[in-house]
Structure 1
Amino acid sequence: MSPSAPPSVRVRAPGKVNVFLRVGAIQDDGYHDVAIAYQALSLYEEVRVRHADDVSVSVTGTVQLGRVPTDDTNIAVRAAKLLAEHAGYTGGAAIDIEKHVPVTGGMGGGSADAAATLVACDALWGTELSRDALFTLARQLGADVPFALTGGTAIGTGRGDELSPALAKGSYEWVLALADFGLSTPEVYRELDAHREAHAGEIRAADPRPTVDSDVLQALRAGDPHMLAEVLHNDLQAAALHLEPSLGRVLELGESSGALAGIVSGSGPTVAFLAADRDSALELQVALSAARLNVVRASGPVHGARIIGE
């Protein structure tokens, strides 16, 4: 361990939106391969870690925290313990999380907590793991955790954790409609599987190894929000709408209020609206707020987990 390890470390990691999500056929183990185009957004989780005898977590923030565990099941606690075990570190860390990404909102807030904790504890403990080693640990924690480490714009395949950078330029303006309820990712996947089984004779069978459509990659390369709006896609959206029909009304409201397009983020229930530019995003934010929706504005892409201070 490094003798110069600091007394505390602060790390910021972003939430994300999936501008494209295709879900493959269910496999024998009950999981699905996916093809995702991720974009990291300027809606951040902030994690501060301090030396302690064991690993503990406390959580504050601007989002509803009722569904965030503060015991050993918290993903940040799991991240710290996994890193300690891997590095042979025998101490602990007091983890303080400040949450701004919706909880169970389909935006990867928990994954951002895990990624930030890996980076923060590595610096706090002076374990000096390589980037590849951190990614290996990230994959063990969850499919979205590796992307929270990298940020930017990336393509995820396999379980979503096999990442390749996407050739992308420009910046995109988003308005996010936050729900006051959560959706269970496993439940949304089960709903999708049930729909596919019930309509097996009417819809094309899912590809077991899906890929991201070429027109999505082309839109990202062009840096054109209008092009991207035309190709936003999420296989989980119909399932999320079936479980929570109110999300359909939110989508209609946003698109009739000036959004280029709207999409359920991941398994939901956050709805992400793409705007043409910053002024359009501000106008959309005002319109949706006037309709009594809880909305925030964010832009992307942004960097992944980064140390911001001690």
Structure 2
Amino acid sequence: MTLAATSPVVHARAPGKINVFLAVGALQDDGYHDLATAYQAVSLYEDVRAYPADDFSVSFSGSVDTSGLEVDGSNLAIKAARLLARKTGYRGGVRLEIEKNVPIAGGMGGGSADAAASLIACDALWGTELGKDEMHTLAAKLGADVPFALAGGTAIGTGRGDQLSPALAQGNFHWVLAVAEFGMSTPAVYAELDRHRERHAADIRPAAVSPQVDARVLHALRAGDSALLAEALHNDLQAPALHLAPGLGQILELGEANGALAGIVSGSGPTLAFLAPDSDTALELQVALSASRLTAVRAHGPVHGARVIHS
């Protein structure tokens, strides 16, 4: 994919994401669900710097608390580097330094962005020149959101979310993210969704085995119309996330009372994404949320996927 780096460090960057639409299919025999989602990459980034080394290591810094992150072989960035090394026959290692800005366990794909940026950085550092399709295949082995972190922009994800097709999006969408002080387990939220569907089986339509993205979402993205997109925002994981963390509902109400067109739980939560009509309203909303002692961050999308940053 790239030529070998001429400097002793390669800096790569990958974005977090918001699922502007997420439909979760019925529980399958293997314990998984098929998805239909519309991803948008937003301007909240993970920065990975890769240095030559004999073995594999990772360290963290950044604007979020990284003290609880694993730094051994279970870390997704280390897994990504080792997977690339095995695929290409590279015999050395890498020292990864990651500056995190995407909320941890926040439903925005921060770990997936780490993995995508690590793949790109190591490919450049080692000069392994892996092709785009092969890189995508490796990304899919690391997790459902990793291929999108590579691709960026706006895309439709099906299957487990890793079968991507680009989606046309015009203009800029302005977001304000309310970042929780706690994380949520994705498997726990999916398990709560299954229980929610069992509890309300008499009142709700059975989940489709293979869900589809609402056509209204695609139209709003193509038109670059924030108001239309706000009407079409949907996340099947929102109800179970709110059941597990009821306080999120009050924050959704607060955001919508202070200028947001709509708010939504991002992915499996607990980060809340508020869509604003313009940058001025986004700033006012950020101030209002901050005044309520919430951590609020502005971002826009769509943005590029993982890439090497040249100084």
TM-score (norm 1): 0.98
What SS is found at the alignment partner of 2:202?
Answer: coil
Give the distance between the partners of 2:154 and 2:5, measured in 1 at CA: 34
Equivalent residue, structure 2, for 1:144 = 145
Whether 1:235 and 2:236 are equivalent positions in the alignment is yes
The residue that corresponds to 1:221 in the other structure is 222
Percent of residue pairs identical: 67
- Once residues 257 and 187 of structure 1 are traced to their aligned partners in structure 2, the CA distance between those partners, rounded to angstroms, is 31
Residue 2 to residue 178, structure 1, CA distance change in 2 (3 Å): closer
**Distance in structure 2 (CA, Å) of the matches to 1:297 and 1:3:** 35
| Partners of 2:310 and 2:53 in 1: CA distance | 19
Q: Which residue of 1 aligns with 2:257?
A: 256
The one-letter amino acid paired with 1:108 is: G
Change in Cα spacing, 1:272 to 1:3, as seen in structure 2 (3 Å) is closer
Asked if the contact 2:4–2:126 (Cα under 8 Å) also holds between the matched residues in 1, the reply is: no
Contact 1:5–1:123 (Cα < 8 Å) also in 2? no
Q: Deviations over 1:240-287 (max 9, x none)?
A: 000000000000000001100000000000000000000000111111
Asked if structure 1 preserves the Cα contact closer than 8 Å seen for 2:4 and 2:125, the reply is no
Q: Does 1:22 align with 2:23?
A: yes
Q: Is the 8 A contact 1:156 1:163 kept in 2?
A: yes
Q: What is the Cα deviation at residue 165 of structure 1? A: 0.4
Q: Return the letter of the residue paired with 2:8.
A: P
**Cα shift at 1:2:** 6.4
Offset at residue 167 of structure 1 (A): 1.5
Q: CA deviation at 1:4?
A: 5.9
| 2:80 match: secondary structure | helix
For each residue in 1:5-29, what CA deviation from the matched residue of structure 2 results, as whole angstroms up to 9, or x when unmatched? 5421000100000000000001000
Does the CA-based 8 Å contact 1:67-1:103 persist in structure 2?
Answer: no
CA distance in 2 between counterparts of 1:66 and 1:243 reads 24
Partner residue in 1 for 2:136? 135
User: Are the equivalent residues in 2 in contact too, given 1:36–1:160 (CA < 8 A)?
Assistant: yes
Question: Where do 4+ consecutive residues of structure 1 move more than 2 Å?
Answer: 1-6
8 A Cα contact 1:226 1:276, kept in partner = yes
Q: What's 2:79 paired with?
A: 78
Listed as ranges, the matches of 1:1-310 within 5 Å are 6-309=7-310
8 A contact 2:4–2:128 mirrored in 1: no
3-state DSSP class of the match of 1:45? Answer: strand
- 2:5–2:125 contact (8 Å) kept in structure 1: no
CA contact (8 A) 1:5 1:126 kept: no
Distance 1:66 1:55 in 2: 19
Q: Following the alignment from structure 1 to structure 2, what is the Cα–Cα distance between the partners of residues 4 and 182?
A: 36
| Distance in 2 separating the partners of 1:67 and 1:9 | 26
Let me know the Cα RMSD of the aligned residues: 1.2
SS in 2 for 1:26: coil
SS of structure 2 residue aligned to 1:25: coil
Distance 1:211 1:257, change over 3 A: same
Q: In the alignment, is the contact (CA less than 8 A) between 1:51 and 1:94 conserved in 2? A: yes
- What SS is found at the alignment partner of 2:25? strand
Distance 2:99 2:204 in 1: 43
Distance 2:140 2:3 in 1: 26
Do the aligned residues in 2 keep the contact of 1:122 with 1:128 (CA within 8 Å)?
yes
Opposite residue 291 of structure 2, the aligned amino acid is: A
Per mean C-alpha deviation after superposition, the further-off stretch among 199-208 and 104-113 is 199-208
Which amino acid in structure 1 is aligned with residue 269 of structure 2? G
Amino acid at match of 1:276: P
Q: How far is the alpha carbon of 1:3 from its aligned partner?
A: 6.6
* AA of the residue aligned to 2:20: V
**Structure 1 counterpart of 2:211, which letter?**
P
1: CA distance, partners of 2:303 / 2:6: 27
Q: Following TM superposition, by how much is the alpha carbon of 1:202 offset from its aligned partner in structure 2, in angstroms?
A: 1.8
The TM-score, its normalising length taken from structure 2, stands at 0.98
Cα distance between partner residues in 2 of 1:182 and 1:308: 29
Contact 2:113 2:149 (C-alpha < 8 Å) held by counterparts: yes
Output the CA distance in 1 between the equivalents of 2:3 and 2:146: 26
